[in-house]
Amino acid sequence: MCGVRRLSLIGNDLTAWLLILIFLLSGCQLGSERSFQYVETDCAGCIEALPTNGWCDLCSHGLVAGLIVPSREFHDALDAHGHEVDTETILCNLCREVAREDQFCPRCRHGFVAGQLYFSELTWALARGESAPPDIRCSGCREQVGGLGRCAPCSTYWVGTVRFISTEDADRAAGQYRRLQVALERLSRCSECAIAGFFGYPCRFCSSEPIPNPLQ
């Protein structure tokens, strides 16, 4: 058993370093004290990456709203987290206007939530929701998390591992989530099929068309 809380009880620096060394050598799966029962993997890297839509080095895949993105290139392109930008210094007039209202700039294809910039309609739409906590006590929510659905008792909507209160926000995020699922299916052909298609371009290798936005 290894974990952050147990380490906090250790008062000997040398012991701590030894434990770190042991952990590094053994590939110990950390994060076991967090439950995240709804995550299919118990990989500690994924536990860390899940709430940040980050990349799990241990499993060599990324996560976006709980969806596994096996291509590093695609995951980088999605860049599904907020970026600190002084929105008042952005040169695009429309960006500055929409940033004040946490909206999306169709001209630059950037979205804004709480002063942070998101690089696509997907990541912006997801940012308008709330990432699922490690433990979900509501059984209704536990049934819906990881997919697309509504928890009636909580009056919340789930888009993957992101929870929404607003129907409009949830619908928008669900549409982008489905586009991401289509793009992930294209990964079996080539990564550019997925990347170009998701961002509205044809694939130069497969000649596949952009994934419609919104999906029909």
Partner 1 sequence: MIRVTQLILFVCLFTIGSSVFAGGHLWDINELYSNFDGTIQFVELHVASSASNETGMATKWIRSTETGAEFVFPGNLSGSTAFAHLLIATQGFANLPGAPTPDYILPDNFMATSGDTITWFIYDDWTYPAPALPIDGVMSIQKDLGTGQLILAANTPTNFSGATGSVDAGGPPPPPPAPTASFSIDITSGEAPLAVVFTDTSTGVIDSWSWDYGDSNGSSSQSPSYTYNDAGTYTVTLTVTNTGGSDASICTGCITVTDPPPPPAIDFVRGDTNQDGGIDITDPIFMLTYLFASGPAGCLLALDGNDDNNVDLADAIYLLTYLFGNGPDPASPNPDCGQDLTPGGTLDCAAFDACP
In sequence order, the 6+-apart residues with CB closer than 8 A to the CB of 54 are 48, 62, 63, 81
In the list 34, 38, 47, 180, the residue contacting partner 1 (rule: CB under 8 A) is 47
Closest CA relative to residue 141, chosen from 157, 117, 127, 120: 157
Query: Residue from 38, 119, 158, 164 that binds partner 1 (CB under 8 A)?
Result: 119
Q: Using CB under 8 A, which of 113, 199, 203, 208 touches partner 1? A: 199
70, 50 contact by CB (below 8 A): no
Specify the residue for token string 């860390």: 48
Does 207 help bind partner 1 (rule: CB under 8 A)?
A: no
Among 34, 36, 39, 48, binds partner 1 (CB under 8 A): 48
3 state DSSP class of 116: strand
CB of 137 to partner 1, least distance (A): 25
Judged by CB under 8 A, the residue of 10, 138, 165, 215 near partner 1 is: 10
Please identify, among the stretches 76-84, 142-150, 153-161, 170-178, the one whose residues bind partner 1 according to the rule CB under 8 A.
Answer: 76-84
Q: How far apart are CA 40 and CA 17, in angstroms?
A: 31
User: Pick from 100, 87, 37, 29: which is nearest to 66 by CA?
Assistant: 37
Q: Report the SS3 class of residue 77.
A: helix
Q: Which residues contact partner 1 by CB under 8 A? A: 4, 7-8, 10-11, 13, 16-17, 20, 24, 30-31, 44-49, 52, 54-58, 73, 76-77, 79, 81, 83, 85-87, 89-95, 107-110, 117, 119, 195-196, 198-201, 204
